[in-house]
Amino acid sequence: MFYFILLLFPYSQSTQQIQNATADYREILSNPMLTPLHGTLEVVMKQEVSLSCHLDSGSPPVRYTLFKNRQKLSALNRTDLTPVLFNLTINSASDVGEYKCKAQNEISNSEKYSRSLNFTLKEPVSKPVLSSPNSQAKKGQNVTLSCLSENGSLPITYTFFKDRQSIQPPVKMQNREAAVISVLIKSSNDFGMYKCKAENCFHNKTKYSNGFNFTLAEERSNSQPLIICLGLTLLLLAIGFALAIPFFIIPLYKAKKFTPTRSSTGHTSKEKVEESEDYVTYAEIEPIQPEACVNLSVIRRDEQENRACATIYSEVLVGEGAQAGPLHSPE
């Protein structure tokens, strides 16, 4: 009996070792492989993509989980080591992220992760924008033109045109930056219609910009500074004259107007004025000083109330060497 127990103990020990070895074998999982089914990492918008995740070694059953940027997307179970497929649709640029696959043995709870996988979004170029810092130019001036397509897979090749003719070799941009060229305006023929073209790997989806025209800038004459100086001078003179009127000219005029002149002496004739029915006779008046003026007032003294002829009053200014002659009244 004791001998039988001794034989049974080695048997049970070997059975436990086999079970432990089997459990250890089930824990061994290889790192899963995540690959695109269509064989390339370049995708376009609205494209459907299938990702394959599989193990080279391991014990089923296995649970596969797909992650994007460390966020769980979906999970599938397999009772064997056949690959699983995860289907995706690229709807926006955010769908192009970092993808990983996790394989987990549900019995041993061991898990392994695949390497990350990143897609490259291939997008046709958007309509480029052609612009320039200056909309006006003059002959002999260098102007710059810039062309930029805000969307589209890099690299992008830009070509500049004037009146549908290429003016410079194409410019290939590896970054999201505008292509810039310099144009010399030599003559009026250089004021034509300018455009630019943008294209990338989608050669059948080339885009053109709107047209851009430079306008001729007005050239300033060399005499313009002289005209400006002359205008300022005339303005200052006008202001000075306007200020001089109330302070100098008007006071001077008033002073001359009220300056007393040489006095003249009035002389009244005492002679009786002879008059008839038809005429009025005036007496001759000699001034006291020949060079002075004499004010003469003739007043008719009516002796009768009713006269056929009206009375005329007159003022006579007599200068040097002049005499007053008779005046006649109208009939």
Alpha carbons 180 and 158: distance in angstroms, whole number: 9
Pairing of strands 111-113, 98-105: antiparallel
Q: Where are the domains of the chain?
A: 26-122, 129-216, 266-331
Full-model pTM: 0.48
Residue 26: predicted pLDDT: 56
Q: Both ends of the chain: CA-CA distance in Å? A: 195
Q: How far lies 164's CA from each of 159, 196, 197, in Å?
A: 11, 10, 11
Residue 40: predicted pLDDT: 87
Q: How far lies 318's CA from each of 134, 272, 294, 297, in Å?
A: 83, 21, 6, 12
Q: What is the pLDDT of residues 150-179, one digit of tens each?
A: 999 899 999 999 998 999 999 999 999 999
**Angle in degrees, CA 234, 240, 242, rounded to 5:** 105
**Angle in degrees, CA 179, 180, 186, rounded to 5:** 145
Q: DSSP 3-state assignment of 114?
A: coil
Beta-carbon-side half-sphere exposure of residue 14 (alpha carbons within 13 Å) = 5
Instruction: Report which of 170, 133, 171, 130 is spatially closest to residue 147, judged by C-alpha positions.
Output: 130
Fold of 129-216: Immunoglobulin-like (2.60.40)
Alpha carbons 313 and 307: distance in angstroms, whole number: 16
Residue 307 token pair: 């006269």
Beta-carbon-side half-sphere exposure of residue 1 (alpha carbons within 13 Å) = 0
Instruction: Report which of 220, 210, 143, 148 is spatially closest to residue 183, judged by C-alpha positions.
Output: 143
CB atoms within 10 A of CB 137: 19
Alpha carbons 60 and 53: distance in angstroms, whole number: 14
Mean pLDDT score across all residues of the chain? 77
Residue 257: predicted pLDDT: 63
Residue 97: predicted pLDDT: 87
Q: What is the pLDDT of residues 178-203, one digit of tens each?
A: 999 999 998 888 888 999 999 999 98
CATH fold match for the domains 26-122 and 129-216: yes
Residue 57 near residue 64 (C-beta atoms within 8 A): no
Residue 22 token pair: 């089997």
Backbone angles phi, psi at 184, to 5 degrees: -95, 125
Backbone angles phi, psi at 157, to 5 degrees: -105, 130
List average pLDDT for each run of 10 residues in the chain, which is 331 residues long.
41 48 60 92 91 90 94 93 93 90 84 92 94 89 95 94 93 96 90 94 93 80 69 86 75 66 48 49 54 50 50 54 49 45
Helices assigned H by DSSP within 46-111: none
DSSP state of 280: B
Helices assigned H by DSSP within 53-201: none
Q: Which CATH architecture has domain 26-122?
A: Sandwich (2.60)
